[in-house]
């Protein structure tokens, strides 16, 4: 085998004539792809131009080698192929074209058709769409692809071929040709691809350019951003006592990215948003300049602006009365709501760590909620916090959040940036209109009962009417009470239950609570008595003439006392058990007659007329009276005969029989 001599290098030049291309520089120090434009003036891509010139250069080198060396042409071709593919010669050209064969060189030479036009050597795989799919192929394929049902490229290819076959339209395109067409269409018309397959919102989120905002130009309190977030963990519903997913309405300060205020409610409503804004203003110490919130029904309502159209409202709502400019985000424009990023951090670092976490979606559910997960269910802690406990947990998490670096002020934590921008404070009474929903309640003995708790104040004592209360679930230690006409009544504080044995087993705090409760009761009673004494004097002033009959005809007792008239002593009945002398048993089966020891004269009988008999408390008392004084009428005799058939008489007879036996034993 002969030794291959070094082939004269040929430089590539885009400015050289088409028939006389310049040879390529074979030096390895410079890449052939450097300093190439993306497209040339003739519309050919830079890559195609580079490949075409490289092919032209290798053909020139091949022909020159065959011309300058003697021998069999086949052997010369094999020597050239081996020298090229091993990198002995034309290294830069090989970097562009890669390995090649003699057959490929003959094919390229044939493509020139003895014209010397290097453009004929340009590759055809970067042709236009129309050169790959034609007419019905393109129309049917795009109809399948650009569907809102998001048909995949593979399925669209199969459907297109089936439709073409059923219509009698022949096609020889491969599946890769259809796939390359779809990928090329998506790359060049991505906006149409997204709009047709995913919708207008996806077009805004993925394709349309966005506007960058610089929060560093703001000050703390310039703008509060609000939105509602469905909590991804369960809490105890204060109204039903059952677990539920509550709504967190939060206001964050745009500058510091700190949570200024929030409110927890079972369902989001305008009153909840107002209370969250109130808490934010109190924490901020000043009123914000702008309140930026979502465009949902709960925010854009008549409660805030007084009209559906904000521009026509004239800021006559609550925001206008407070001097705050309300701004509403565009509908379905999540890019404008910077609070969404805060909610994501809140969910990842707080909600996921709670035992009652249930996930943000079906695919995000924890393992213990999955079917047949007995192991995780056994490990799961079923603790569900109340609203008060949730507030405490959020406050603990805020300590962690405020220690993180502020994204808008480099080098400072979030809490420090927020604290430096606080105001001097606000008058809380001015914010009463922003409190929670107004609820009508009745005043009872212990004040007002709300959420299974009693709220009391001294101003509620003695009232039994309906009142309006304003409350915030953020702080249930007190409620504000108003009359139905809007007049402020008092601030009622929550009354705590006391220890049942406070003085014996309770703590000093329990004893103090008991003493305070007793003092409150005595104070209320004293207040009532004092008020009643003041009303006694009004009673005489309101007397009528016929009410003065008592002074003209005094009572009988007063007249007897005034005239010093003696009255017989009051006869009192002595109980039988107090009598030491045994009673004589009655005679059974006969009429009541006087014994020798109880002889009565006709005068005595005459003296004891039925008109003077006393009022008897029971039947036994009347029977004893008849035993002593006898019977006077047939009705008395009939009553005695009836009484002797009753159970009371049998019990009395048994008593007399026992008494008689005792006397007999004593006599013996």
Residue carrying structure tokens 């290097």: 118
CA dihedral over 486, 490, 494, 495, signed as positive or negative: negative
> 502-545: per-residue pLDDT in tens?
777 777 777 777 777 788 788 878 888 877 777 776 656 656 66
**Which segments of the chain belong to CATH 3.30.420.10?**
215-420
The whole-number pLDDT of residue 634 equals 87
What is the CATH number assigned to the segment(s) 215-420?
Answer: 3.30.420.10
**Token pair of 218 as six digits:** 């703001």
> 3-25: per-residue pLDDT in tens?
454 444 433 333 333 333 434 44
Is the model's pLDDT at 37 over the cut of 60?
no
Is the model's pLDDT at 215 over the cut of 50?
yes
Q: 270 and 303 in contact (C-beta within 8 Å)?
A: yes
Query: Is residue 292 helix, strand or coil?
Result: strand
Is the model's pLDDT at 221 over the cut of 50?
yes
Q: Which of 148, 133, 138, 256 is nearest to 193 (CA)?
A: 148
User: Torsions phi, psi of 439, nearest 5?
Assistant: -120, 135
Total residues found in the chain within this entry: 668
- From the number of C-beta atoms within 10 Å of its C-beta (0-12, 13-18, 19+), residue 643 rates as middle
The percent of residues above 90 in pLDDT, for the chain, comes to 27
The whole-number pLDDT of residue 21 equals 40
Residue with more model confidence, 419 or 333: 419
How confident is the model over 46-62, as a mean pLDDT? 89
Dist. CA 608–CA 31, nearest whole Å: 151
Name the band, by pLDDT with cuts 50, 70 and 90, for residue 474: low
The whole-number pLDDT of residue 399 equals 94
Rounded to two decimals, what is the model's pTM?
A: 0.50
Element (H, E) at 253: strand 247-253
Residue carrying structure tokens 């030479």: 109
Cα 286 versus chain centre, distance:
27
How confident is the model over 296-314, as a mean pLDDT? 47
How confident is the model over 83-88, as a mean pLDDT? 90
CATH class of 438-495: mainly beta
The whole-number pLDDT of residue 42 equals 58
Residue with more model confidence, 652 or 444: 444
> 103-129: per-residue pLDDT in tens?
999 998 888 877 888 888 888 765 544
Name the band, by pLDDT with cuts 50, 70 and 90, for residue 313: very low
Residue with more model confidence, 273 or 306: 273
Poorest-confidence range of 65-74, 434-443, 605-614? 605-614
**Which segments of the chain belong to CATH 2.30.30?**
438-495
The whole-number pLDDT of residue 40 equals 52
Query: Is residue 481 helix, strand or coil?
Result: strand
> 144-197: per-residue pLDDT in tens?
999 999 999 999 999 999 999 999 988 888 899 999 999 999 999 999 999 999
User: SS3 sequence, 162-186?
Assistant: HHHHHCCCCCCCCHHHHHHHHHHHH
Q: Round the average pLDDT of the chain to a whole number and report it.
A: 77
DSSP β-bridge partners for residue 253:
224, 258
The whole-number pLDDT of residue 149 equals 92
**Token pair of 364 as six digits:** 């995000």
């Amino acid at each position: 085998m002969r030794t291959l001599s070094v082939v004269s290098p040929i430089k590539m030049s885009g400015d050289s004539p088409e028939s006389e291309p310049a040879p390529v520089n074979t030096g390895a120090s410079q890449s052939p792809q450097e300093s190439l434009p993306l497209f040339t003036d003739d519309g050919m891509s830079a890559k195609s131009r580079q490949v075409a010139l490289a092919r032209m250069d290798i053909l020139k080198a091949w022909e020159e080698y065959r011309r300058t060396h003697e021998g069999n042409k086949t052997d010369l071709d094999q020597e050239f192929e081996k020298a090229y593919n091993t990198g002995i010669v034309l290294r830069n050209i090989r970097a562009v074209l890669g390995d090649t064969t003699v057959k490929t060189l003959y094919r390229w030479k044939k493509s020139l058709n003895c014209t010397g036009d290097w453009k004929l050597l340009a590759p055809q795989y970067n042709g236009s769409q129309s050169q790959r799919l034609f007419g019905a192929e393109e129309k049917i394929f795009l109809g399948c692809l650009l569907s809102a049902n998001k048909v995949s490229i593979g399925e669209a290819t199969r459907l297109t071929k089936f439709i073409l076959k059923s219509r009698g339209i022949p096609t020889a395109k491969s599946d890769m040709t259809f796939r390359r067409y779809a990928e090329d269409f998506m790359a060049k018309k991505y906006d149409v691809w997204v709009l047709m397959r995913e919708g207008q919102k996806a077009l805004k989120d993925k394709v349309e350019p966005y506007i960058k905002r610089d929060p560093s130009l703001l000050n703390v309190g310039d703008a509060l951003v609000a939105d509602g977030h469905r909590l991804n963990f369960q809490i105890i519903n204060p109204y039903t006592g059952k677990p539920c997913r509550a709504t967190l309405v939060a206001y964050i300060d745009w500058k510091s990215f700190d949570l200024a205020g929030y409110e927890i409610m079972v369902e989001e409503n305008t009153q909840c948003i107002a209370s969250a804004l109130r808490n934010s203003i109190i924490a901020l110490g000043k009123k914000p300049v702008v309140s930026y919130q979502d465009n949902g029904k709960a925010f854009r309502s008549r409660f805030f602006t007084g009209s559906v159209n904000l521009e026509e409202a004239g800021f006559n709502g609550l925001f206008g009365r407070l001097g705050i400019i309300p701004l509403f985000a565009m509908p379905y424009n999540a890019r404008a709501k910077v609070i969404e990023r805060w909610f994501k951090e809140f969910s990842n670092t707080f909600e996921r760590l709670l035992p009652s976490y249930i996930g943000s979606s079906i695919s995000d559910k924890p393992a213990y909620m999955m079917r047949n997960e007995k192991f995780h269910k056994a490990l799961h802690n079923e603790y569900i916090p109340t609203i008060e406990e949730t507030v405490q947990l959020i406050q603990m998490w805020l300590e962690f959040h405020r220690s993180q670096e502020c994204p808008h002020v480099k080098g400072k934590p979030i809490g420090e940036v927020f604290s430096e921008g606080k105001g001097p404070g606000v008058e809380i009474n001015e914010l009463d209109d922003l409190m929670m929903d107004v609820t009508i309640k009745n005043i009872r003995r212990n004040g007002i009962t709300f959420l299974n708790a009693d709220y009391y104040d001294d101003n509620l004592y003695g009232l039994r009417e309906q009142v309006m209360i304003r409350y915030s679930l953020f702080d249930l230690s007190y409620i504000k009470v108003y009359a139905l006409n809007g007049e402020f009544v008092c601030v009622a504080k929550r009354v705590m239950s006391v220890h049942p044995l406070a003085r014996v087993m309770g703590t000093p705090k329990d004893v103090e609570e008991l003493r305070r409760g007793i003092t409150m009761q005595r104070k209320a009673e004293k207040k009532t008595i004092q008020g009643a004494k003041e009303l006694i004097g009004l009673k005489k002033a309101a007397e009528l003439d016929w009410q003065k009959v008592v002074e003209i005809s005094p009572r009988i007792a007063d007249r007897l006392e005034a005239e010093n008239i003696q009255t017989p002593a009051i006869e009192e009945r002595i109980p039988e058990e107090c009598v030491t002398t045994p009673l004589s048993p009655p005679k059974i089966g006969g009429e009541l007659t006087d014994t020798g020891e109880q002889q009565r004269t006709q005068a005595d009988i005459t003296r004891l007329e039925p008109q003077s008999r006393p009022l008897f408390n029971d039947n036994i008392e009347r029977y004893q009276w008849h035993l002593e004084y006898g019977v006077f009428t047939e009705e008395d005799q009939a009553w005695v005969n009836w009484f002797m058939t009753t159970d009371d008489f049998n019990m009395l007879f048994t008593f007399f029989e026992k008494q008689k036996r005792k006397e007999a034993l004593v006599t013996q």
